Amino acid sequence: MPELPEVETMRRSLLPSIGRRIVSVNQPDSRYRPIAMEPGLKFLQQKIIGRSIIEVERLGKRVVVCLDDQSRLLFQPKMAGLVLMDSPPNESHLRLVVSLSPIESSQNARNAFSSSQVRDCSSIAQILYWDQRGLGTVQLWTAEQMKAFLASGVLGPDALAVDSDTFRSQFRNTARPVKPTLLEQARVAGIGNLYASEILHRSGVHPARRCDRLSKPAWKRIFDSTRLILLEAIEHEGSTLSDGTYRKSKENPGGYQNSHRVYDRAGLPCLTCGNHLIVRIVQSQRSTFFCPGCQKR
């Protein structure tokens, strides 16, 4: 489930790792399906133990830990993964533990935090990757591998960095329905199933409308709604759904689920118009929610 707002919240939670050295890397014993890790644990240990963390970035729906040799440690949570520095939901699905040194007095650390913030985070000493389903991945890329990936076209421009005209150009020439097309990361990176339904509802666009039949004003509404909803969700630190999987830490769920207008509300009155019930349909094997009154086809 983690989409751009949840992954951005994870990224921000890892900022106290900046300026620390990696002192150990371990895979806790688990009876569950192992995650895909490239390279394997032994080689990963050889490559990153002793390296310092200089930045934490987000690449679409991936958390990227930048190391001082220009390599990148990428966490891709996929359906049910969490990257955090606080207590995980449980120990049984903990997949990787990266232990860190006390924070060092580096320029990066001074740039990232005030002196009081550095002191406050001095006791935090681990990056944890937790994954209930085991579908996520951990990868170590060199600077050259990162450059090649960015040039490959696998990811389009970030949903919070793209401008309105580029956003429209990524979608307008396909005959596919707009809702599943918004999920294609090669067009625009970061939008997932949950937020696509919310974006189209706020835009007043039916999810089955063809991309190539949407007007320029409709695309402008979709673009504006994308930015507003993603930023609102980040402000509320993501959405924790009924399964309770996503959370900032064991006792800290996100808060944006309380602002959902259509997602997972099939059969309930529309919170926008109050005159229709929310409908659920299936598109490309994914659930889509919309109001037939607010989003006329």
Residues marked as catalytic: 2-3, 61, 286
Instruction: Return the H-helix or E-strand segment holding 56.
Output: strand 53-59
d(CA 236, CA 11): 14
d(CA 57, CA 189): 14
d(CA 276, CA 208): 18
Sign, CA dihedral 37-135-7-17, equals negative
d(CA 10, CA 245): 14
Residues contacting residue 168 through CB under 8 Å, at least 6 positions apart:
216, 219, 220, 223
